Structure 1
Amino acid sequence: MTTPSVTARRLPDMTSAAFLLVAFLTGIAGALQTPTLSLFLSTEVHARPMMVGLFYTGSAVIGILVSQLLASWSDKRGDRRTLIFCCCLLGALACVLFAYNRNYLVLLLVGVLLSSFGSTANPQMFALAREHAEKTGREAVMFTSILRAQVSLAWVVGPPLAFALALGFGFTFMYAAAAVAFVLCGALVRYYLPSMPKAALKTIAPLQAPRRHRRDALLLFAACSLMWTANGIYLITMPLYLVHELHLPEKLGGVMMGTAAGLEIPIMLLAGYAAKRLGKRSLMRLAVASGVLFYFSLLFITAPLPLLLIQLLNALFIGILAGIGMLYFQDLMPGQAGAATTLFTNSTRVGWIIAGSFAGGVAELWSYHAVFYTALAMVVVAIYCVWRIHEAPARAEESAPLAELLPEKADNGGLPLP
């Protein structure tokens, strides 16, 4: 006969398993859609390159507004479980709209709004997981790191799977699969995640200007924004460049993105351990130098195997940026951890807004290949910014916790898309 104490010990395990599944499925839902979005808009909606870029820019702006509104509401009043459940349902509805609608304006005005709610489910799940860990006495850092690893895993398998579904069965089937993932998430959230109404997330703080090292913090913000812009340009342009100009298999784009995502995880971990000996400035210089080599190589490499091999440079570029960038901000802004994290997050959002405009405009005027010159220029300017930043003062916790090193793919690299 099962005693109450045994049952009490088993219930948190079931809840933890539900958190892991929700993290993976929401990651899969995003990873199924974002990598193929530019190809979908081009081939299914027949949008011109300029309109494709505008779609990304509009998506980023709408996503920022929705995520900030929901974050503020949930921290002050709301039950996160109810909010996550509703976001999952709205995300599924957005997927259904993308599956059966091919009107550009409807997708931009209605579809993006619905999908912005869907993309908020993942970060809200992380907030609820932290509250659950603190309430039950679990190690919050390790629990959060495991959840983030699930999202990273989703982004390893998601892009190749997305292209396989879209090319093998059609975009309608792919978006239907994403809708199923959201529905499964909603069921897990409704029946297995804990309810904690009106719980405030302690890590959210109002945006503040840096009290110290303002020049360096501004240079770092500019550098990170430019680096994220280059990455956004690459993600928007690469699927279309492979198909329309290199005439390579469409699925190669998914394999390239999955390869880079898989390499980013160990690079982030290694960067965290190397930060104590080499310093964060040196690692950021390595990242931006890798970015220059990567985007320079894209201008001349046209064969599938070399394109896959240079994903190591891309992984160094993004892996170090995602793992060390936030910590560098925190070092430059001691006592302002919340504001520092917000600055880093905003750099990803600014990058996506700029990327949409440049990717669409340059491709419309010249070619998809020419877009990579723009990305290379962004990284070259980022080099200038990074080289002018001073080394951050040492912190007591030089060895960064695992949770800070693993990527939060929940926001799709800051892109609030379907």
Structure 2
Amino acid sequence: MLTPTPTIEKPSNLVAFAFLLIAFLTGIASSFQLPTLSLFLTQEIQVSPAMVGYFYAINAIIGIGLSQILAKYSDKMIDRRKVILYCCVLAIGGCLVFAFNRNYYWLILLGTTLLGLGSSANPQSFALAREYADNTGKESVMFSTIMRTQISLAWIVGPPLSFSIALNWGFDWMYSIAGLAFLFCGLIAVTLLPKVPRKKMEQNTPLQAPSNNQKSVIYLFITVFMIFNCNGMYLINMPLYIIHELHLPAELAGTLMGTAAGLEIPIMLLGGYLTQYFSKKALIFTALWAGFLFYLGLLFFQNTWQLVLLQFFNAIFIGIIATLGMLYFQDLMPRQAGAATTLFSNAAKLSWLVAGPIAGWLAQFWHYNTVFYVSFLMIAIAMVCLMKVRTVN
């Protein structure tokens, strides 16, 4: 049973290490599941492409609904560590369902429900990290930024490792190892994370943004949603565009993803540092312009080295929003770190409901690179919405 240990009783270096390790392990678990899911469904369950699409859509809907409910509940709890622990236990159950069950409907109902609840361990750890930093006087922006880099680091090593395990050992081993990562997360939450004191008034505060920030939260949600829509369409169509239209090696897709993930780490750190001199809003505008240049370049550059160089702009586009976007939500929703962090996470999840159908429809009737033109429109919408978001720093 978790005890109400005061924050100051745990060494700050140990606490920081625990937060970073949890971020990395939850990143590893997600990087095992998402990249291999379509392969798992087609090879192990042997369903049609349409059924694969339905699975992704239902998975996103369940994950969004459950995580948002859990986020509101977590902001009422005195000890957020318990929420992280419960999420890890549920995620382990979800991994075991995927490891040892091959019934499509059991997976889509029970497996996705457990993993949908369990996936909240990641945003809940970020919420606790923000509360810990605020209560101890630490610099919250850089602390959260460094945590976010651990997820990028996990996505550099996770996808190649997951494919290797799944293809050589089997999906049961792959999902079992993902469950083991969640097990370690739960143990770390119990033993190493601090209990952050929470004010009584916070428990009775309605779980919504202050009235002067509510519209800003909506516009910021749309901004983040549009950015991740662009990224989702790119990730879906880019491998097929490289193979079928550019006639380049299929391995190049993995190289581009790994390059972008690697470049995101220093960009995230730099973005966190620059918040001392520029507002988060200004830095996100910079990211949007980088995204515009990235998709413009994809329309004209077709050589391997050019596509690799373009990943610098892609890393700016995604790296900044992935870190500062979450912190911006937290700034606009004070004393509701769990709901704010999950709202950011759900904006990314919701984008897959739109990105998938759009990418498939455009590729079927036009070309794979047509999504790059649509991305210009989405970036323009994101810019307009961001202009309406209140500057909080």
Give the TM-score category using the shorter length.
0.7 to 0.9
Say if 2:27 and 2:154, in contact at 8 Å, map to a contact too: yes
- Equivalents in 2 of 1:340, 1:200: separation in Å? 15
1:207 lines up with 2:208 in the alignment? yes
Aligned to 1:319: 319
Partner of 1:4: none
Structure 1 residue 376 corresponds to structure 2 residue 376 = no
Aligned twin of 1:99: 99
**2:138: which partner in 1?**
139
In the alignment, does 2:29 pair up with 1:32?
no
Paired position in structure 2 for 1:356 = 353
Deviation at 1:260, TM superposition (A): 1.3
Identity %: 42
Contact 2:98 2:175 in 1 (8 A): yes
Distance in 2 (CA, whole Å) between partners of 1:42 and 1:241 is 21
Shift of 1:113: 0.7
Q: Verify: 1:110 aligned to 2:92, yes or no.
A: no
Q: Distance in 1 between matches of 2:275 and 2:13?
A: 34
Distance in 1 (alpha carbons) for counterparts of 2:75 and 2:308: 42
- Structure 1 residue 272: deviation in Å? 5.2
Identify if the C-alpha distance between structure 1 residues 162 and 70 changes in structure 2 by more than 3 Å, giving closer, same or farther.
same
Q: Distance in 2 between matches of 1:248 and 1:77?
A: 52
Contact 1:49 1:364 in 2 (8 A): no
Report the 3-state secondary structure (helix = DSSP H, G, I; strand = E; otherwise coil) of the residue aligned with 1:207: coil
Deviations 1:101-144 (A, max 9, x none): 34332222111111112211122233444555666x46262554
- What is the distance in 2 between the residues matched to 1:342 and 1:330? 9
- Residue ranges of structure 2 left out of the alignment (5+ in a row): 1-7
Q: Tell me by how many angstroms 1:49 deviates.
A: 4.0
Structure 1 residue ranges without an equivalent (≥5): 1-7, 398-418
Does the 8 A contact of 2:74 with 2:338 survive in 1?
A: no
Change (3 A) 1:104 1:343: same
CA contact (8 A) 2:152 2:265 kept: yes
Quick one: distance in 2 between partners of 1:58 and 1:200?
A: 37
Matched, 1:160 2:160: yes
Select the structure with the greater relative contact order (CA < 8 A; seq sep ≥ 6): 1
Contact 1:100 1:172 in 2 (8 A): yes
Change (3 A) 1:127 1:166: same
For the structure 1 residues 330 and 25, does the alpha-carbon distance in structure 2 shift closer, same or farther, using more than 3 Å as the test? closer
Quote the residue 1:172 is aligned against.
172
How far off its partner does 1:18 sit? 3.4
Name whichever of 75-84 and 105-114 sits farther off.
Answer: 75-84
**Correspondence list, 1:181-330, <5 A:** 181-194=181-194, 206-208=207-209, 211=212, 221-238=221-238, 253-271=253-271, 283-295=283-295, 298=298, 306-325=306-325
**How many Å apart are 1:12 and its aligned residue?**
5.8
CA distance in 1, matches of 2:207, 2:138: 26
Q: In the aligned structure 2, how far is the partner of 1:200 from the partner of 1:369?
A: 57
Amino acid of the structure 2 residue aligned with 1:206: L
Report what 2:3 is aligned to.
Answer: none
Counterpart amino acid of residue 386 in structure 1: M
Cα distance in 2 between the residues matched to 1:393 and 1:61:
29
- Report SS of the residue matched to 2:172: helix
2:301/2:307 contact within 8 Å kept? yes
Tell me the equivalent position of 2:90: 90
Matched AA of 1:148: R
In 2 relative to 1, CA 343–58 (structure 1 residues): closer, same or farther, beyond 3 Å? same
Question: Partners of 1:20 and 1:181 in 2: how far apart?
Answer: 14
Indicate the SS of the match to 2:207. coil
- Give the number of aligned pairs: 384
Aligned amino acid, residue 294 of structure 2: F
Judge conservation of contact 1:264–1:315 (CA < 8 Å) in 2.
Answer: yes
TM normalised by structure 2 equals 0.75
SS at match of 2:346: helix
SS in 1 for 2:34: helix
CA contact 2:229–2:352 (8 Å) conserved in 1? yes
Q: Kindly tell me: are residues 268 and 190 of structure 1, through their superposed partners in 2, closer, same or farther at Cα, counting changes over 3 Å?
A: closer
